[in-house]
Structure 1
Amino acid sequence: MSALVAPATGADIAELRQLYYAVYGPHYPAGLGTDPAEMARLIQDPDSLWLVARCPDTGALAASAAIHGEPGSRIGRLEGLAVHPDHRAGGLAATLTEALCAGMLDSGRLDSVYATVRTVSAGPQRVVARNGFRPLGVLPNAVDLSSRESLALYARHSTGVLERRVPVTEVPAPLLPLLKAVESCLGVSYGDVRATSPLPAAGPGPVERLEMIEAPAFVRRRFHERFPDTAGWFYPLHTPNVLLTPDDGRFEVYAYLNRTGGYCSLLTAHPDPAAAADHLEPVTRALTRAGAGYVEALVPLAHHQALSAFLAQGFVAGALYPAMRADGDGFHDYVVLSRTTEQIDFRGVVVEPPLQPYLDCYLSAWASTYLPTLEVAS
C-alpha cells in the first residue's frame, strides 16, 4: 500500500489511542499510546519525531511510529511501532522506520537510535534489521503485556560513531562471551580487552529498612538538585519517579518504576553509585514488592567495580550497547544488566539467527549465576 506519511498532530490522538488498543489490547505499558497528555507532549517535542501513515483511499490511520529524543542528548529511541491488523504485510512498519531514521539519524541530529522489539514473532526483528538496526542483546522478562515477555535490543548508529569508541582494558570474565557476540554481530573488536575475575563484594553495612518514596514531582525535583547535569548519571530517556533510602539517609537510589509493564530501571545513586552498590539486594527486594518483576541497570563497560557489584547480586548481562554515550570526541560502551524474580520461559521466544548468539550467552550466564556447580567426589 502506498500510504500517506506525515507527522502526527494533536488531532490524531483519539485515532492513535484506538490504533494502539487494536494492536496491543488494554495492556500497552507506554504513555505514547494511552495517555493523551503524554502523547500531546511528544507530538510537540522538538527533540522527537512522530510519524503516522494513512490509507490513501479512506484516510484511515494505518500505522504509527516515533523516535523519542531528549534535550542535550544525541541518542534516541524508536518506539510505538504499530500497524493496524487490517494493514499488515504492506510494508508500513519499514516505511515509517526508514522515514524516521532519515529525519533523525541520517540527518545528523542523533548519533544512534535504539529499539526494544518483541520476540513473540520474527516480524519486529526483521523490520528493524531491514532498516539498518543490528542486535545488541536480549532482555528476558522485560515487560508484562498480556503475559511476561522478553525483548530484544537493537540499535542503528550514524556513520563513523562505532569507530570512535573509547577503549576498555579489562572487564569481569563473565562478560567476555557477550563481548564476543557483539564482535561477531557488529564487526567491532574487543581483542585487546583482558578478562579478569570480578572484584570481591564488600560486606554491606546494616540496612534496617528502606523507605520508598513515590511522589514523582518531588523525586524529579530532588533528582535534579542532586544531579544538575548528566555528568553524574546517564540513563537516556528515563526520568526517575521513585526514590529509595535507608532510615539514616546515607544514600539515595533513584529509579523509574512502571507498574503497568511490571519493570524498573535503576538510574543512579547519591552521593555516588558506589554508596548503594553493596545494598543492591534490599533495593531489588523493595522494588519487587512494589511490582517490578524485572529490574535493570545500565553500567559503563569501563566500570569494573560497578559491574562486579551487580554480578555479585545476581544481575545477569543480557546486552551490550557499543558507543552509547558521547564523551568529547569519543563514545563509551554500556552493559545492560537485569534481574528478574519471575520464571523465565523461553519456549515462546522467536529469535532470528543474528540474535541467537545473545540468547545463548544469556542462558549460559544465567545458569552460571543461579544453578549450583555439581562436584563429584571419588
Structure 2
Amino acid sequence: MIVIRRACESDVEAISEMFQIAYGDDYFYPQYYDIQSLKRMILSDDTLFLVAEESDTGAVLGTASVLLEVGAHADLLAEFGRLVVHPQGRGQGIGGKLMKARVEFVQDRLHVGIVENRSAHEFSQRISHQHGFHPVGLLPNKFQLGDRESAALYVCHFGHALELRRNHPHLIPEIYPLAKLALENCQLNCDAIIEAEPRAYPHVKQFQIQEMESELYPVLLRFERGRIKHREIFGRMRLHYGLFQLRVSQGQYLLAYRDGVMVGAIGFMIDEHERTGKIFELVSLDDSPIYYLVSELVRRCREEYGIDYLEVDVSAFSTQMQQTLLENGFLPAAYIPAMVFHDVERLDIVRMVCLLTTWNGDALQVFEPGKPIADLVDQSLRLRTALPKLIQAVKTAPLFAGLSEEQQQYVAASAELETLPEGRVLFRPEDPADKIRVIISGEIEIQNCHAKTVGTIGPDESLGDLASVSEPSHRVLARVKSHGQAMLFSRDSLQQLVHTRPDIGMILFRNHACELADKLQRMNVHALFKQE
C-alpha cells in the first residue's frame, strides 16, 4: 500500500537518490543533490515536500514539491516542482497520487498553481491535465538536461482567482492567437482586444550603462520609490526585498544614466549552470531608457553572459512593452490568465522568451491537449529563423508596396518560407485555390490544359492570387522551372491578417488590383502576338 505524507529530515537521502537516478549528473537544480539544501527546503514554510512511502517496507518510492513563494508578495502563486518516482515504484499510480495530494494540501493557500512539465515524454503532462491543470504555453529549450529540453507550461486556478481577473487584456497581434488558445483551455472566453498598430517604446541610445555595485543599492532603492506608475514586468524578486535576497537569487541590475543622472534600471537573474536568465523588474524616470535597457541586456546575455534562454513575464495590458520585447527578439511562449495580483485585480501575464540558441522542436513529446499551443510556439520559432528573408521579400514585392516598416514585419510574420525544388508541381487544374505565393527566387512555369506553356512567374511576382480570388480551383498547372524559394500564405492566414489588420488589408487589396490588371494586360498582349 502506498501512503502519501509530508517529507521529514530522515527522507533526505532517499529523495536525493531518486533525483540522481532520474536525472544523473545533469539536473538543472543541483540543490536536490545537496543534503543540507534539501533539509532546508523540507523544513521551510515556503516549500511543501511530499513523499510516497510503501507502508509494508517503509521505502520511499516517490517525491513531489510545491514552491509557495515564487511570485511577488501576496500573489498567492505557487509552482508545483518536479515530481519523481523511483523505478521500483513505477506502474503503481504514484505520480497521480502525489499530484492529487499536492493539490489538496495547498489549494486553500493559493489562487494560481503552475507546473513546468518535461516535454521529452508525456508522463508529467498527462498527470497535470488529469488533476485540473490546463496547457497555456511551451517554454522552448528552457532546461539543461544534457541537451536542452523544453517545458510544457500548465496552470490551475483556485479559490477566487478568476473572479478577480481583470477583463479585456490589450495585446499585440503576435500574442493574440496564443492568448486565445490558453484562455479557451482554461474554460474562459477570449476577451482580448488587439492593438491594431502597436508602438514600442522610443529608440533612444544616448545612455551610459553600469552594473549595480553594493554601494549603489541605496541610490537605486531611492530612485525606485515612486518611479513605477504601473508595473509592466513581474517576477519573484523586487529591489525592495533587500540586497541579501538579491545576492542569494543571483539578482543583478543594469543602470542607465543620462548626463550623470540615473534614469532607469532593469533587474534580472542569471543561472550560469543552467545558462538561463529572467527579467524580473524594470523601472524608469520616463519612457526614453526602456527600449535601450532591454536591447542592452539581450546583447550582454548573448555576447558576455553566455545565456541560451532569457524570459520575462509582461503584463497582458501593456502593448508598448510587448512590442518592445518583440522587436528585441522575444516571442510569446505562454499566456497565463490571472497570474499576478496587482492593485485590486489579478492580471493576465504573457511569458515572452528570447531564445539565444538553435531551436529544434523535432524531439517534442506533447500531450494531445497541449499540441495546438506547442505547434503555435514551434511555428513562431521556425519563422524567426526565416523572418529576415521574408521581410526582404515584402520590401521588394509590388504586392506589398506602401506598407510601413511595422506593417512589413507583420505581413512577413504571417507567411511561411517555402523551398521550391526544380520540377515540383505546385498545383494542377482542379486543385483547390487555397494558397498564394510570392516568389523570392527561382522561376515558375505556367501550362494550360493542353500542356503548353502560357507564361512564367519570377521573383517578386505573386502566384495563385487570381484563382484564389475569383475561383475555388485552379485552371492551369504550375511547375517549378528553376530551384527557388517563396513566401507562402494560406487563404485562411490572409483572411485572418485582413481581419486583424484592416489597415494592411486596404493596401494589399489596392496593390492586388493593380497587379491583376498588369497580368491581364500581359496576357492580352501575349494572345494578340499569337494571333498575328
Normalising by structure 2, we get a TM-score of 0.64
SS in 2 for 1:356: helix
Residues 44, 169 of structure 1: alpha-carbon distance in 2 compared, 3 angstrom cutoff: closer
Residue pair 2:265, 2:293 contacting (<8 A) in 1 also = no
Which amino acid letter does the alignment assign opposite residue 13 of structure 1?
V
Which amino acid letter does the alignment assign opposite residue 21 of structure 2?
A
SS in 2 for 1:296: strand
Q: Please state if 1:164 is matched with 2:174.
A: no
Aligned to 1:285: 299
CA distance, structure 2, for counterparts of residue 80 and residue 363 of structure 1: 24
Aligned to 1:243: 253
Measure how far apart 1:89 and its partner are. Answer: 1.9
Tell which structure's C-alpha radius of gyration is larger: 2
Aligned to 2:405: none
CA distance, structure 1, for counterparts of residue 276 and residue 133 of structure 2: 24
Which amino acid letter does the alignment assign opposite residue 321 of structure 1?
I
Return the match for 1:258 from 241, 249, 271. Answer: 271
Post-superposition CA distance 1:20-70 (Å, at most 9, x none): 111111111225513334322322222331111122233222111111112
CA distance, structure 2, for counterparts of residue 178 and residue 7 of structure 1: 37
Return the match for 2:95 from 93, 96, 107. Answer: 93
Which amino acid letter does the alignment assign opposite residue 174 of structure 2?
P
Aligned length in residues: 372
Aligned to 2:179: 179
Matched residues, percent identical?
21
Post-superposition CA distance 1:169-218 (Å, at most 9, x none): 531111111122123322212245234222145223145665476x8xx9
Residue pair 1:174, 1:365 contacting (<8 A) in 2 also = no
Q: Please state if 1:17 is matched with 2:19.
A: no
Q: Please state if 1:270 is matched with 2:270.
A: no
Residue pair 2:263, 2:285 contacting (<8 A) in 1 also = no
Residues 44, 245 of structure 1: alpha-carbon distance in 2 compared, 3 angstrom cutoff: same
Measure how far apart 1:159 and its partner are. Answer: 4.3
CA distance, structure 1, for counterparts of residue 311 and residue 12 of structure 2: 31
Residue pair 2:263, 2:286 contacting (<8 A) in 1 also = no
CA distance, structure 1, for counterparts of residue 48 and residue 221 of structure 2: 26
Residues 272, 125 of structure 1: alpha-carbon distance in 2 compared, 3 angstrom cutoff: farther
Aligned to 2:42: 43
Aligned to 2:347: 332
Measure how far apart 1:90 and its partner are. Answer: 1.5
Post-superposition CA distance 1:123-159 (Å, at most 9, x none): 1110111111111110011121111011111011114
Q: Please state if 1:311 is matched with 2:313.
A: no
Return the match for 1:74 from 62, 67, 76. Answer: 76
Cα root mean square deviation, aligned:
2.9
Which amino acid letter does the alignment assign opposite residue 284 of structure 1?
V
Aligned to 1:115: 115
The runs of at least 4 consecutive aligned structure 1 residues that moved more than 6 Å come to 218-231
* Segment drifting more, 21-30 vs 282-291: 282-291
CA distance, structure 1, for counterparts of residue 294 and residue 37 of structure 2: 32
Residues 241, 92 of structure 1: alpha-carbon distance in 2 compared, 3 angstrom cutoff: same
Residue pair 1:134, 1:186 contacting (<8 A) in 2 also = yes
Residue pair 1:115, 1:153 contacting (<8 A) in 2 also = yes
Residues 321, 162 of structure 1: alpha-carbon distance in 2 compared, 3 angstrom cutoff: same
CA distance, structure 1, for counterparts of residue 221 and residue 61 of structure 2: 40
CA distance, structure 1, for counterparts of residue 19 and residue 219 of structure 2: 34
CA distance, structure 1, for counterparts of residue 284 and residue 145 of structure 2: 35
SS in 1 for 2:175: helix
Residue pair 2:256, 2:293 contacting (<8 A) in 1 also = no
Q: Please state if 1:26 is matched with 2:25.
A: yes
Residue pair 1:223, 1:254 contacting (<8 A) in 2 also = no
Structure 1 gap segments, 5+ residues each: none
SS in 1 for 2:325: helix
Measure how far apart 1:296 and its partner are. Answer: 0.2
Residues 273, 16 of structure 1: alpha-carbon distance in 2 compared, 3 angstrom cutoff: farther
* Segment drifting more, 257-266 vs 361-370: 361-370
Structure 2 gap segments, 5+ residues each: 239-248, 398-438, 440-459, 462-532
Residues 237, 280 of structure 1: alpha-carbon distance in 2 compared, 3 angstrom cutoff: closer
CA distance, structure 1, for counterparts of residue 66 and residue 221 of structure 2: 25
Post-superposition CA distance 1:270-308 (Å, at most 9, x none): 347954333322211212332320000000100111111
CA distance, structure 1, for counterparts of residue 5 and residue 219 of structure 2: 39
* Segment drifting more, 267-276 vs 155-164: 267-276
Measure how far apart 1:7 and its partner are. Answer: 1.1
Aligned to 1:342: 357
CA distance, structure 2, for counterparts of residue 353 and residue 220 of structure 1: 48
Aligned to 1:198: 198
Which amino acid letter does the alignment assign opposite residue 301 of structure 2?
L
SS in 1 for 2:234: coil
Return the match for 1:356 from 352, 371, 385. Answer: 371
* Segment drifting more, 72-81 vs 115-124: 72-81
Post-superposition CA distance 1:70-121 (Å, at most 9, x none): 263311010021111221222111111111110101xx21111100010001
SS in 2 for 1:187: coil
Residues 33, 221 of structure 1: alpha-carbon distance in 2 compared, 3 angstrom cutoff: farther
Which amino acid letter does the alignment assign opposite residue 173 of structure 1?
P
Residues 84, 188 of structure 1: alpha-carbon distance in 2 compared, 3 angstrom cutoff: same
Residues 342, 42 of structure 1: alpha-carbon distance in 2 compared, 3 angstrom cutoff: same
* Segment drifting more, 186-195 vs 123-132: 186-195
